[in-house]
Amino acid sequence: MGTPSLSEDSNNCSSSVSKFILLGFPYTWGIQILLFSIFSGTYILTLIGNLCIICAVRWDPQLQTPMYILLASFSFLEIWFITSTTKIISFSGCFLQFYFFFSLGTTETLFLSVMAFDRHLAICRPLHYPTVMTIQRCIRMGTCCWVCGFLYFPLPIYLISQLPFCCLNKIDHFICDPGPLIQLLCVAAPAIEIICAIYNSVLIFSTLIFITSSYILVIRVVLRVPSAEGQQKTFSTCSSHLAAVSLFYGSLMVVYVIPTAGSAAGKQKYVTLFYPVLTPLFNPLIYSLRNNEMKKALRKLFTTVRFSQRPGRNL
């Protein structure tokens, strides 16, 4: 089975589009079954991994700190992020998915920034940290990330939805992404493309510069620590977050910042897999394997679950 043509039946189409078909990864039936199994397994593992982090933070008193509360909120965000895809979708549903997908992505960049700020305060201002980063302030900052994330993208989404889509309704992607959507327009829309590029660039570079600046200050402080053991311990608290930032922002910049003119439109979707699918899968592994407190909490959680499921426990 070959890749379906995007121009198929173009002579018989109507002047408007009522639904979109997300082509996804159009291979042979056998390969599609294999991909479905892989993606289903990835989705289940992502849910389990992030739910374990949320439960560990919720039930372990030692993890009731701003750092881990932000991590639990981040895991909750990742669960929603990987859930926001489908195959055949209505016109309004496509733009609703567009809104939720990009709003969740925006919220993730803001959470990564807040987590970098938290690490900066904890390492560079340890005496002020307990009074500045209180639990209440941490919750307010997390709430602000959600609100700002969902208020950032409505304008470009509304502008694209008001443009005429004619004939073609097959999107060579697995999500309603602005690039493939703009290619289906009946008219050229350079202004919309510029607006989307500005929105993406401002969001990505502003948060990335903030995160980078925070860690430059952290590194300066860490290098002044006299003992190598102290330096290693301090760096270990930041390495998990830096790994998550590198994975997320690396794929974001390849898809939305680096020019893709002249490249096949379908290639973008393979890179896009990294930030909504692989990043939510890897984050629980990154944070649990690189953090001793999280590993202890997870072991305690698994021990409690196994003990409560023993036969005769409730007798």
Averaged pLDDT of the chain: 79
pLDDT of residue 294 exceeding 90, the answer is no
Rounded distance, CA 243 to CA 265, Å?
Answer: 28
Q: Tens digit of pLDDT for each residue in 233-269?
A: 777 777 778 888 888 888 888 777 765 444 455 566 7
pLDDT digits (tens, 9 = 90+) for 159-218: 888 888 876 677 777 778 888 888 888 888 888 888 888 898 899 999 999 999 998 998
**125-164 confidence digits (pLDDT tens):** 888 898 989 999 999 999 999 999 999 989 989 988 888 8
Q: Which two tokens stand for residue 218?
A: 């952290």
Compute the CA torsion angle 74, 77, 82, 88 (nearest 10 deg).
-160
pLDDT at 66 over 50: yes
Least confident residue range of 26-30, 39-43, 140-144: 26-30
Strands (E), 44-201: 88-90, 170-171
Q: Calculate mean pLDDT across residues 280-294.
A: 76
User: In this predicted structure, what is the pLDDT of residue 148?
Assistant: 95
Question: What are the residue boundaries of the structural domains of the chain, listed by start?
Answer: 14-291
Q: What is the pTM of this model?
A: 0.80
**How far does CA 82 lie from the centroid of its chain?**
8
Q: 14-291 architecture in CATH? A: Up-down Bundle (1.20)
Taken in order 161, 268, 256, 80, is the CA torsion positive or negative?
positive
